[in-house]
Structure 1
Amino acid sequence: MADQQQAEVEFLTGSSYQGNFVNERMEGLGEYTFPSGTKYIGGMKDGMFHGQGTLYFTNGGRFEAEWDKGKAVGPGIGGTYIFKEGLKYEADSWQYCDGIDRRFYSEVCNGLQPAGQSQKVDQEPAKTIPLGWYDCGDGFYNPDNRVVYDYDVQFLRNADIDEHEWIVSTCHKGVKDGEPLPYAMETSKTRT
């Protein structure tokens, strides 16, 4: 019979695990925390996510899935992503902020504001974006050092070149009063 024990371990990678071990392998129920702060709570087998488990992200979102040897195995994206506001991503019936309907989730739930009072962000009041930085949805991005900070200006992650390019071409930028917004200067393009 396998030797099962409960333990709390910190790894050299900066990750940690609290839960069951069998033969010195993570197995059974446990909580695995990545260096980024993302947590997995659920089943483990032979050191991998296995069975029911949920990834909790630092932005407040979560991914619920059935896992098999470390891989999410449900339909669509393998599980269900739930945003911090409670919106569930469903690949086959996704209607939020697509190419046709650009409303924020709060507008889908609560209706549109009167003319002239349109929302500029999902959660009002909008955060003040530091000058020259960008609001990338889960925090502020400083293009000078390519770091994404949460809204309390705590480190979240380093942006790679693809994320950097996406943020500077897509997201709201902190500008001085009266300065034109970068996206307002672009001409509109017709989608094909």
Structure 2
Amino acid sequence: MVIALYPEVMEYTGSSYVGDYHNGRMEGNGVYTLPTETRYEGGMKDGMFHGNGTLYFPNGSKYVASWDRGAVIQGSYIFADGLEYEEDDWTYCDHYDRRFYTEICHGLKPAGRSQLTNLDPPRTIPEGHYDCGDGFYNPLTRVITGYDGEFLRNADDDEHEWIVRTCRKGWDQITGYKPELHQQQLPRYSS
């Protein structure tokens, strides 16, 4: 088994790897870094994630998982603030309790000081853009750039529609009442 002591940059992908090799393939333990700065630390087998390993994302979140030849067997996503995603009983920021995780941990702000995002104070969104969670989205160019201004990706039609429908925007707009956003808690009575 050969151990790479310095990052070996992969010519076609722009990724790098530091760790164990066997027969010219990543095998054993290592650190695989993608061009987006997403980093995997853990086991490898025949060039694929294998065994226990963690994906670390540039925004501070991580995905801790058990892998079998590149496929996830079991995993857990943990947000940058420490909140762990629960697939079955996910009650975070739902229609019954709309608090952000930081409000759950540290309490609500006094009246008149609403918290708009989990990050407080929220990022300033450039005019004409949306904050899509990992960067800013320009709907005219369909380009998503990181908060540092670096290009991340082009949005496809599905992502564009989701961002425009869901995400915070960098301009004020009067929207009025939208009944589809309010869950009916009690039946309505007619007289």
Rounded to whole Å, the distance in 2 between the matches of 1:185 and 1:168 is 17
- Structure 1 runs of 4+ aligned residues shifted over 4 Å read none
Rounded to whole Å, the distance in 1 between the matches of 2:95 and 2:33 is 36
Q: Equivalent residue of 1:88, what SS?
A: coil
Equivalent pairs: percent with the same residue?
A: 57
Q: 2:118 aligns with which of 122, 136, 139?
A: 122
Q: 1:132 aligns with which of 122, 125, 128?
A: 128
1:36 and 1:157 in contact (8 A); partners too: no
1:27 and 1:44 in contact (8 A); partners too: yes
Deviations, residues 130-155 of structure 1 (Å, cap 9, x unaligned): 11001112221111221222222222
TM-score for both structures, normalised by structure 1: 0.86
Offset at residue 121 of structure 1 (A): 1.5
Offset at residue 86 of structure 1 (A): 1.0
Rounded to whole Å, the distance in 2 between the matches of 1:25 and 1:180 is 54
Aligned to 2:167: 171
Q: Match for 2:8: what amino acid?
A: V
Distance 1:158 1:60, change over 3 A: farther
Offset at residue 35 of structure 1 (A): 2.4
Rounded to whole Å, the distance in 1 between the matches of 2:117 and 2:102 is 9
Q: Match for 1:9: what amino acid?
A: E
Rounded to whole Å, the distance in 1 between the matches of 2:59 and 2:159 is 16
- 2:49 pairs with 1:58: no
Q: Equivalent residue of 1:168, what SS?
A: helix
Q: Match for 1:126: what amino acid?
A: P
Aligned to 1:10: 9
- 2:99 pairs with 1:103: yes
Offset at residue 191 of structure 1 (A): 4.1
Q: Equivalent residue of 2:179, what SS?
A: coil
Q: Match for 2:59: what amino acid?
A: N
RMSD of equivalent CA atoms: 1.7
Aligned to 2:173: 180
TM-score for both structures, normalised by structure 2: 0.86
5+ residue gaps, structure 2 = 185-191
Aligned to 1:112: 108
Offset at residue 20 of structure 1 (A): 0.5
- 2:69 pairs with 1:69: yes
Stretch of structure 1 that moved more, 98-107 or 132-141:
98-107
Q: Match for 1:92: what amino acid?
A: D
